[in-house]
A and B are shown apart, each in its own frame.
Chain A
Amino acid sequence: MAFQYSNDLGESDEFVRHKPYTSARNSTGLNFVYLLLGTLFGFIFVKAEIVSWFRIQEMFRFDSFHMYGVIGSAVVVGALSVQIIKRLKLKAFNGETISIAPKTFNKGQIYGSLLFGIGWAITGACPGPLFAQIGAGYLAVTVTLLSALLGTWVYGYVRHRLPH
């Protein structure tokens, strides 16, 4: 059903994969690694203070290089890694050939990003940091997360009426 729908919109759906999927049943150990990786990641998020509302304000006000340094160096390391993986045609540990689905352009990337930018500046959090802020003890952010879930759901509900 999701497949037909994505074709209706003339775009590929990132969760409809044209490859045999690896189901959760044969990768319980691997799932634990994702949990660990997430934990490490959340820890770095907090230590780099990129989950801080203050740091986001500082970034958008161009008062500090910190956030630009974090995102910029992450992109450089990410891009080099992707190049190496592609050049060496590396396989994933689960045996899959590594393939990254290209992002196809649609106007949602403009409209959606403009809306997201407002939310990012107001909450001081993109989706990842929301989880880290709650973990760091800011329990009020649970409301932000629930509201973000509602926003996601409403998007799914009105999607076919929105310009893409």
Chain B
Amino acid sequence: MDIFKIPWPWYIAGPLIGLTVPALLLLGNKPFGISSSLRHICAACFPANLPFFSYNWRDEIWNLLFVLGILIGGYIGGVLLENPDDIVIASHTREVLSGLKINDFSGLLPLDLFSTENILSAKGLVFLVAGGFLVGFGTRYAGGCTSGHAIMGLSNLQWPSLVATICFMASGILTTFYIIPVLLKFLL
């Protein structure tokens, strides 16, 4: 059972994730893309007569079941078969983050930022609310995320997806080096 608890190397996990592309195509001619699920939830729950949400979301219910599955899989992998050890990351990253007063390296996310007690604090406002808003707004504006553009789009050799991938990688790198240290300095 140990193999289901310890972290998997990239050369096992990456190809398995890549196989999702043909699996979805062969099952029902579905393109791999996860951020669309957020749009379908909007279309199902609060379409507000907006043209962008006026389509038959029921035809895309497979996508909602897929992300529900991701949640269940997260529970199985992260709770039932939780890695008992601290997360192992590059020592340099750990040193930098420790220097920025991140103390909790026990799980997948630092509880210094992502604990439920922080929801109503400034930390929550920045790392949960503002961050989440940018993920939702940005992926929809871009027409896709890491799965739809980086994996599905690049797999299908689409140059607009390459543009998108370069843009969100560059922006993430700049945010990590220049914005996050400032945020952590003020919030921790």
Q: Closest B-chain residue to A54, C-beta based?
A: B89
* Contact B42 A49, beta carbon cutoff 8 Å: no
Q: How far is the CA of A35 from the CA of B107 in the complex (A)?
A: 26
Known A-B contacts A31-B65, A134-B74; A153 and B42 likewise in contact (beta carbons under 8 Å): yes
Interface Cβ pair total, 8 Å cutoff? 537
The answer to whether the Cβ of B188 comes within 8 Å of any Cβ in the partner chain is no
* Contact B163 A110, beta carbon cutoff 8 Å: yes
* Contact B21 A135, beta carbon cutoff 8 Å: no
For B60, the chain A residues whose CB sits under 8 A away are: 15
Q: A128 CB to closest chain B CB, in angstroms?
A: 4
Total number of A residues with any Cβ neighbor in B under 8 Å: 130
Known A-B contacts A38-B73, A113-B168; A64 and B90 likewise in contact (beta carbons under 8 Å): yes
* Contact A140 B115, beta carbon cutoff 8 Å: yes
Q: How far is the CA of A125 from the CA of B136 in the complex (A)?
A: 11
Interface majority SS on A: helix, strand, loop or mixed?
helix
Interface majority SS on B: helix, strand, loop or mixed?
helix
Point out which of B15, B46, B97, B168 has the most chain A C-beta atoms below 10 A from its C-beta. Answer: B168
Q: How far is the CA of A2 from the CA of B140 in the complex (A)?
A: 16
0 or 1 for each of B52-74: is its CB under 8 Å from A? (1 = yes): 11111011111101111111111
For B99, the chain A residues whose CB sits under 8 A away are: none
* Contact A109 B146, beta carbon cutoff 8 Å: no
- Taking CB atoms and an 8 Å cut-off, the chain A residues in 83-115 that contact chain B are 84-85, 90, 92-94, 96-106, 108-115
8 shortest A-B CB distances, which residue pairs?
A38-B69, A42-B73, A136-B78, A135-B74, A117-B171, A151-B136, A112-B141, A77-B18
A residues in contact (CB < 8 Å) with B: 1-2, 4-5, 13-16, 21-24, 27, 30-58, 60-61, 63-79, 81-82, 84-85, 90, 92-94, 96-106, 108-128, 130-141, 143-157, 159, 162
**9 A-B pairs in the complex with CB atoms less than 8 angstroms apart:** A44-B13, A71-B146, A93-B27, A120-B135, A132-B70, A133-B74, A151-B138, A156-B42, A162-B141
